[in-house]
Structure formats: structure tokens, C-alpha cells
């Protein structure tokens, strides 16, 4: 019986290592150091092109900001929307927004809102009183064209 328990333990330990290594090597998954704030650049696609004639397909986009810290709040200081030229289109927050532990918020860009061109973006600034786990900030882009559904997520990237 002890040999079976020992082999089961080794199997469980090996499987745990495999899962952790797989997660760490997965694009977009990383263990970030705790932080008191930062700025994230988030790509947004208000349209994509399809077919040989590059037919534009408008997309609706939802910016998602998620506080991943289970004990502490964060403050979303700004969420600014930029055109593909780099020009500021609009500031999406009228005031600082507090997100409690594990809380989230979203900002919606309508499908017909193509003022920024093909590759728009958000710059999201956030702060915290204590070091916290960094928020997950990403954009869900979704639309439909001629019976074809298009949806994908673009992750935010910390910038200096």
C-alpha cells in the first residue's frame, strides 16, 4: 500500500508541475510583481477587413477592467480612447473610479463608432494605496458580417 500512495503522490506532483509550467508558458499568462499602479496600452479594433477586396467590417468593442486583488481596492484614474493616428478621441471617465476587491467595470464602444479608424487604442491608468496584484485590462471586439461572426480579445500591455 505505501508504494501505491508514493506513486500517486509522484503522479500528482508531476501533474501539478506540468499544469504550472503550461500556465507560465501560455501567452498572456504571467505572474506579475505586486504594484501600486501603472499604465496599460490596450489595442482596440473598431473594424477589420475581410475578403480579397478588403471589405471593412465594423466591430463593437468592450474595454474590461478587472481588479484581481482579493483584499484591496484600486482606482482607475483614466481610460482615454485614441485614434489610429495617435490623436485623443475622448476621455471615457469623468472622474476617478474605485474598484473594490475583485470588482470590474467596462466601457463600450458602439459598432458604428469608427471615428478613430482601424486600429484605435485605450490608455488606462490605475493606482492603489498598497501594493496589489495588477488588474486584468483587455478589450473584447465583436461583430458580424454576412452570417460570419467575428470576436476576439486584445490584452492590455503595461507601458512605462
Read off the pLDDT band of 146 (50, 70, 90).
confident
- Distances in Å between the alpha carbon of 145 and those of 19, 52, 60, 150? 38, 15, 12, 8
Distance separating alpha carbons of residues 107 and 63, to the nearest angstrom: 5
CA distances from 150 to 1, 30, 79, 109 (A): 54, 27, 25, 16
3-state class (DSSP) for residue 11: helix
Q: Higher confidence at residue 125 or residue 30?
A: 125
Instruction: Give the largest Cα separation in the chain, rounded.
Output: 70
Share of the chain above pLDDT 90, in %: 63
pTM: 0.78
Give 26's contacts (C-beta < 8 A, 6+ positions apart): none
Residue 2: per-residue pLDDT: 58
How is the chain split into domains, by residue range?
A: 1-31, 33-159
pLDDT band at 25 (very low <50, low <70, confident <90, very high): very low
Instruction: Identify the band that residue 30 occupies on the pLDDT scale cut at 50, 70 and 90.
Output: low
Nearest to 46 by CA among 24, 62, 33, 67: 62
CATH topology of domain 33-159: Immunoglobulin-like (2.60.40)
pLDDT at 119 over 80: yes
Q: Give me the pLDDT at residue 1, please.
A: 52
Summarised one tens digit per residue, pLDDT across range 36-95 is 999 999 999 988 888 888 888 999 999 999 999 999 999 999 999 999 999 999 999 999
Mean pLDDT of the chain: 85
Amino acid at each position: 500500500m505505501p508504494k501505491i500512495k508514493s506513486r500517486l503522490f509522484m503522479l500528482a506532483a508531476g501533474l501539478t508541475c506540468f499544469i504550472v509550467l503550461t500556465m507560465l508558458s501560455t501567452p498572456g499568462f504571467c505572474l506579475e510583481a505586486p504594484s501600486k499602479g501603472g499604465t496599460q496600452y490596450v489595442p482596440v479594433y473598431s473594424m477589420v477587413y475581410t475578403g480579397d477586396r478588403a471589405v471593412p467590417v465594423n466591430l463593437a468593442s468592450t474595454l474590461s477592467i478587472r481588479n484581481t486583488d482579493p483584499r484591496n481596492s484600486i482606482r482607475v484614474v483614466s481610460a482615454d480612447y485614441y485614434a489610429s493616428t495617435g490623436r485623443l478621441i475622448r476621455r471615457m471617465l469623468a472622474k476617478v473610479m474605485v474598484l473594490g476587491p475583485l470588482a470590474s467595470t467596462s466601457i463600450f464602444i458602439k459598432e458604428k463608432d469608427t471615428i478613430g479608424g482601424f486600429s484605435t487604442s485605450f490608455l488606462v491608468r490605475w493606482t492603489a494605496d498598497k501594493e496589489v496584484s495588477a488588474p486584468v485590462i483587455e478589450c473584447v471586439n465583436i461583430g458580424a458580417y454576412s452570417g460570419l461572426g467575428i470576436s476576439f480579445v486584445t490584452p492590455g500591455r503595461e507601458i512605462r
